[in-house]
Amino acid sequence: MFAIMIATLALQAEPRVLTHVDFARPPMPEVPGAALSRGIPSGYATVECSVEAGAITACTIVDEDPAGIRFGVMLLSEMRRARLKPEIAAEVTRFRLTARFVNRSL
């Protein structure tokens, strides 16, 4: 009975969320038009994604600054094209990624 309880608890535990993963094709989001037109020099967005069968799925915006400029939306869009390295994809179930944006036109 003791072994069964341990196995059940292990299955219910939240998966570890990695904050560093290696990409075969990294996300490369562009600076949002709102940042360009308003002269915003930089910003960032953080997303958290699940990995199922080696593919990145179910990404959500966790944070972005400044808010309302669409940094998070731009990163989410790029996550659809991003690919993890196969050896990483086989081991990861969740990860968090922060992308920094710099407006080089200023």
Which pLDDT value is given to residue 95? 95
Instruction: Taking residues 51-72, report their average pLDDT.
Output: 95
Mark residue 58 as left, alpha or beta (left: phi above 0; alpha: psi -120 to 50; beta: remaining): left
Q: Which two tokens stand for residue 34?
A: 């709102």
Q: Under a CB-based contact definition with an 8 Å cutoff, are residues 43 and 71 in contact?
A: yes
pLDDT value of residue 34: 94
- Residue 18: its pLDDT value, please? 86
Q: What is the DSSP letter of 61?
A: E
pLDDT of residue 106: 76
Name the CA dihedral angle for 71, 76, 80, 82, rounded to a multiple of 10 degrees: 60
On whether the pTM is more than 0.85, the answer is no
Contact 19, 36 (CB under 8 A): no
Work out the pLDDT band at 15, boundaries 50, 70, 90. low
75 with 47: CB under 8 angstroms?
yes
Q: How confident is the model at residue 5 (pLDDT cuts 50, 70, 90)?
A: very low
pLDDT-based confidence at residue 91 (cuts at 50, 70, 90) = confident
Asked if the model's pLDDT at residue 44 lies above 80, the reply is yes
Task: Say if CB 104 and CB 42 are below 8 A apart.
Answer: no
58 or 19: which leads in pLDDT = 58
